[in-house]
Structure 1
Amino acid sequence: MRHRIAAVSAAALLTLAGATGIAEAQSTGLYAPSAVVLTVAQGEDEATAVRASTLSCAPTAQGTHPDPQAACTALAATAGTLDMLLAAPDTNRACPMHYDPVTVTADGVWQGSRIAWKHTFSNACVMSATLNGNPVYAF
């Protein structure tokens, strides 16, 4: 099952890349390609993805993400440092202190450079409080 999700994610990224003309963009230099597969996984192993979304940001925002424009804008604001997606947790929100890890990933190409980013939260409440309205993982 793990390999199947990874294969589906890779196939989705390649399909999205082909559909958005990434090969054409590289040869013409009109824009730097940006296409990523975003996942949310239960546990510390990203291969156990429970949700996945594709996102392409160049030349236009598109993909299976429900709000590709907002997600592309949020990714662009990181200037390639995806740890910037992690805001200070909402101090007005109390989360349980139990360990039930949730892992988020971004894998693909961002502005022409290969990226593979992963972050594990102690539980879904901490993930929600930390991402605090960030649209990238709102799928």
Structure 2
Amino acid sequence: MRHRIAAVSAAALLTLAGATGIAEAQPAGLYAPSAVVLTVGQGEDAATAVRAVTVSCAPTAQGTHPDPKAACAALAATSGTLDALLAAPDSHRACPMHYAPVTVTADGVWQGSRISWKHTFANACTMSATLNGNAVFAF
């Protein structure tokens, strides 16, 4: 199943790359390619993708993400370290202590470099509380 998600992610990137011109030869230094497939999945290995979107950030923000401009700004703020997306959980939000893992992933190219990142939360409430206000996984 993981290979199927990877194949779907790769196909989505190629489609996005073709649609944005990333796959075409461009003058060196014009724009560093940034095209990422974001997923939210059930389980520790994200084998069952519940939601997936694409976002391309150069030269303009676009993709299937509901707010690609905000997602690109949040990704840019990480300076390439996607663990920076993880904030301290909202202390005013109480989450149940049941284990129903939810995994988020980001795969693609960010400013010309290949990225592959994932993080597993104990449950959807914990994910929501931790990513509160973060536009990247707000889809």
Q: TM-score range by the shorter chain?
A: over 0.9
Structure 1 counterpart of 2:65: 65
Structure 1 counterpart of 2:51: 51
Structure 1 counterpart of 2:6: 6
Counterpart code for 1:44: E
Structure 1 counterpart of 2:31: 31
Q: Is the 8 A contact 2:9 2:107 kept in 1?
A: no
Structure with bigger helix share is 1
Counterpart code for 1:98: H
- Distance in 1, matches of 2:6 and 2:30, equals 30
Structure 1 counterpart of 2:87: 87
- 1:80-130 deviation line (CA, Å, top 9, x unaligned): 000000011000000001100000000000000000000000000000000
CA shift for structure 1 position 36:
0.4
CA shift for structure 1 position 10:
1.5
Structure 1 counterpart of 2:22: 22
The count of residues paired between Structure 1 and Structure 2 equals: 139
Structure 2, gaps ≥5 residues long: none
- Distance in 1, matches of 2:44 and 2:100, equals 9
Structure 1, gaps ≥5 residues long: none
Counterpart code for 1:15: T
CA shift for structure 1 position 5:
3.5
Please report the RMSD computed on the Cα atoms of aligned residues, expressed in angstroms: 1.4
Structure 1 counterpart of 2:115: 115
User: How many percent identity over aligned positions?
Assistant: 87
Q: Is the 8 A contact 2:55 2:65 kept in 1?
A: yes
